[in-house]
């Protein structure tokens, strides 16, 4: 049995005002130092001050948050006892808030004990509002969080529960206007890959399909515009909406092998998530097309590729994605991203191991064996097409 899950989503100009309609007498804002410096925290604080409520700010979330960092957020929550948690920032802030929310509500649990199978019983103490400041991860709409286990040097990708879908997501375009160009590119490519993988993986379903295709359409149209002209408000708003739609799509379906390889690359080489999955995406499509060409050709048709043959349409889709990446000044290979031959050779065993253990790998339309994962990483490193 499946459930479609979604937060209540406020979107459009001045949608931050919706924060006033959400009950909560003690509010903990979870953010990072950059968001705080860019004046976005001030916007939220000013909104919170319109109500007679107490609030506190934790602004030390780190990029790709570790268990230790999440525990610090949870300690702040235990101390302040909020009944509303507001996660303000990119995927890292929202994911750290999700992890801390669990520890705050369930101090008897360890982070690595959370899995989609267990019951968490959240919302006895607080509810969660997400205000994304990037247009990519879609974490404001999803049931999972990506946390880094530093001891194992890997990203935990099974920290998931339907209860973790935020209660509210607020998509006010003011929060993405200052997103730097490179972050615009990388987070946008993450959203694109999530939507593509949501559409093709083995858990795909009717409810996620339409969301995935619309998100892909919007990203192809508006991501280059938001990158070329950061002040293009419409392009900013559309990419922001597309990212959350992508989050809804994959949260109600799944992602796939490009996220498995992307998480491994992120953990081992500390690459930005969007860059890692962005580079992986075309190679994974080439690898998976043997078993999912019809699905990829649906995507190709959605963005205007008129080609009868499913295999050819998929090849053209890969070319359009590479063209988009080039437009966004994003490298097309791991070597191009600055990974040395030596670093690759030393770590390829670990990359393969982490990819093979990832839950995202098992739902990919074509599930690779160990040797295929190795060959896939070699293609990604060299920039060679996948022909096996």
Using CB under 5 A as the criterion, which residues of the chain lie in contact with Fe ion when the complex forms? Answer: 190, 194
For tokens 């990029």, name the residue: 63
| Nearest CB to Fe ion, comparing residues 253 and 297 | 253
Cα–Cα distance between 8 and 89 in angstroms, integer? 18
Among residues 160, 170, 187, the alpha carbon closest in space to that of 251 is found at 160
CA dihedral angle for residue 251, residue 268, residue 258, residue 222, rounded to 10 degrees: 70
> Minimum distance from CB of 225 to Fe ion (Å)?
22
Cα-Cα end-to-end distance for the chain: 36
* 8 Å CB contact between 59 and 194: no
> Minimum distance from CB of 273 to Fe ion (Å)?
6
> Minimum distance from CB of 99 to Fe ion (Å)?
17
CA dihedral angle for residue 110, residue 116, residue 119, residue 121, rounded to 10 degrees: 80
> Minimum distance from CB of 90 to Fe ion (Å)?
11
> Minimum distance from CB of 277 to Fe ion (Å)?
5
| Nearest CB to Fe ion, comparing residues 58 and 250 | 250
- Map 294-358 to HEC letters: HHHHHHHHHCCCCCCCHHHHHHHHHHHHHHHHHHCCCCCCCCCCCCCHHHHHHHHHHHHHHHHHC
| Nearest CB to Fe ion, comparing residues 29 and 245 | 245
* 8 Å CB contact between 212 and 54: no
Helix extents (H) in the chain = 33-37, 40-48, 67-80, 91-105, 181-200, 206-228, 233-251, 257-269, 273-302, 310-327, 341-357, 359-362, 370-382
**Tokens representing 137?**
């991860």
| Nearest CB to Fe ion, comparing residues 194 and 254 | 194
| Nearest CB to Fe ion, comparing residues 190 and 298 | 190
> Minimum distance from CB of 12 to Fe ion (Å)?
24
| Nearest CB to Fe ion, comparing residues 32 and 190 | 190
Please state, in angstroms and as integers, the Cα–Cα distance from residue 28 to each residue in 44, 70, 90, 135, 297, following that order: 11, 14, 17, 23, 45
> Minimum distance from CB of 191 to Fe ion (Å)?
8
User: Which residue has its beta carbon closest to Fe ion?
Assistant: 190
> Minimum distance from CB of 354 to Fe ion (Å)?
16
What is the three-class DSSP state of 25?
A: coil
| Nearest CB to Fe ion, comparing residues 64 and 172 | 64
| Nearest CB to Fe ion, comparing residues 36 and 194 | 194
């Amino acid at each position: 049995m499946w459930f479609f899950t979604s937060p209540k989503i406020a979107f459009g100009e001045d949608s931050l005002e919706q924060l006033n309609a959400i009950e909560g007498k003690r509010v903990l804002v979870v953010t990072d130092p950059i968001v705080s410096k860019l004046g976005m925290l001030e916007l939220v604080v000013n909104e919170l001050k319109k109500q007679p409520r107490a609030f506190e700010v934790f602004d030390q979330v780190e990029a790709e948050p570790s268990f230790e960092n999440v525990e610090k957020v949870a300690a702040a929550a235990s101390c302040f006892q909020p009944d509303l948690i507001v996660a303000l920032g990119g995927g890292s802030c929202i994911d750290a808030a999700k992890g801390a929310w669990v520890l705050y509500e369930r101090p008897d649990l360890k982070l690595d004990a959370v899995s989609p199978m267990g019951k968490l019983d959240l919302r006895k103490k607080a509810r969660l509002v997400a205000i994304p400041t990037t247009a990519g991860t879609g974490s404001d709409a999803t049931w999972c969080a990506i946390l880094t286990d530093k001891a194992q040097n890997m990203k935990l990708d099974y920290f998931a529960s339907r209860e973790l879908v935020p209660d509210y997501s607020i998509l006010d375009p003011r929060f993405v206007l200052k997103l730097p160009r490179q972050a615009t590119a990388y987070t946008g490519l993450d959203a694109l890959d999530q939507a593509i993988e949501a559409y093709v993986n083995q858990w795909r379903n009717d409810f996620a399909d339409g969301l995935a295709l619309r998100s892909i359409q919007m990203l192809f149209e508006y991501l280059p515009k938001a990158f070329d002209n950061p002040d293009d408000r419409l392009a900013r708003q559309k990419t922001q909406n597309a990212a959350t739609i992508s989050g809804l799509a994959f949260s109600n379906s799944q992602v796939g092998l490009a996220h498995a390889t992307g998480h491994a690359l992120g953990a081992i080489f500390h690459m930005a998530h969007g860059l890692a999955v962005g580079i992986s995406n075309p190679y994974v499509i080439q690898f998976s097309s043997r078993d999912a060409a019809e699905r990829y050709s649906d995507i190709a048709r959605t963005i205007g590729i008129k080609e009868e043959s499913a295999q050819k349409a998929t090849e053209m889709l890969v070319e359009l994605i590479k063209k988009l990446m080039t437009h966004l000044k994003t490298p097309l290979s791991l070597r191009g991203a600055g990974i040395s031959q030596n670093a690759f050779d030393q770590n390829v065993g670990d990359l393969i191991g982490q990819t093979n253990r990832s839950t995202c790998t098992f739902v990919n339309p074509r599930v690779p064996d160990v040797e295929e994962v190795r060959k896939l990483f070699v293609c990604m490193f060299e920039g060679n097409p996948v022909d096996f």
